[in-house]
Amino acid sequence: MTELQGLIIAAHGRHYLALCSDKQQGDKIYQCVTRGKKSDVATGDRVRFKITSDDQGVIEEILPRASLLYRSDQYKSKLLAANVTQLFIVVATEPGFSDDLVSRALVAAEAAGIRVQLVLNKTDIAPLLPAARGRLTLYRDLGYPVHEVSAAKDPASTL
| Per-residue pLDDT tens digits for 77-103 | 788 899 999 999 999 999 989 999 999
Asked if residue 157 has pLDDT above 80, the reply is: no
* 4, β-bridge pairs: 49
**Structure-model confidence comparison of residues 131 and 37, the more confident one:** 131
pLDDT higher than threshold 60 for residue 158: no
- Per-chain mean pLDDT for the chain: 89
Write down the number of H helices and E strands in the chain: 2, 10
pLDDT recorded at residue 147: 95
CA distances from 138 to 8, 108, 109 (A): 35, 18, 17
Strand residues in the chain grouped as ranges (E): 3-12, 15-22, 26-34, 46-53, 56-62, 68-72, 77-82, 86-92, 115-121, 146-148
Q: pLDDT for 61-82, tens place per residue?
A: 999 999 999 887 778 778 889 9
- Residue 1 — pLDDT band, cuts 50, 70, 90? low
pTM of the model: 0.76
Q: Which pLDDT band, with edges at 50, 70 and 90, does 29 fall under? A: very high
Cα separation, 42 vs 18, whole angstroms: 11
Q: Given this model, what pLDDT does residue 133 score?
A: 95
For residue 104, pLDDT over 60 is answered with yes
Distance, in Å, from the CA atom of 8 to the CA atom of 13, rounded to the nearest integer, reads 13
Judge whether 108 and 71 are in contact, CB under 8 Å.
yes
Stretch 101-116: mean pLDDT:
92
**Three-state SS for 63?**
coil
Residues of the chain with pLDDT > 70: what percent? Answer: 94
Q: Residue 28's pLDDT is what?
A: 93
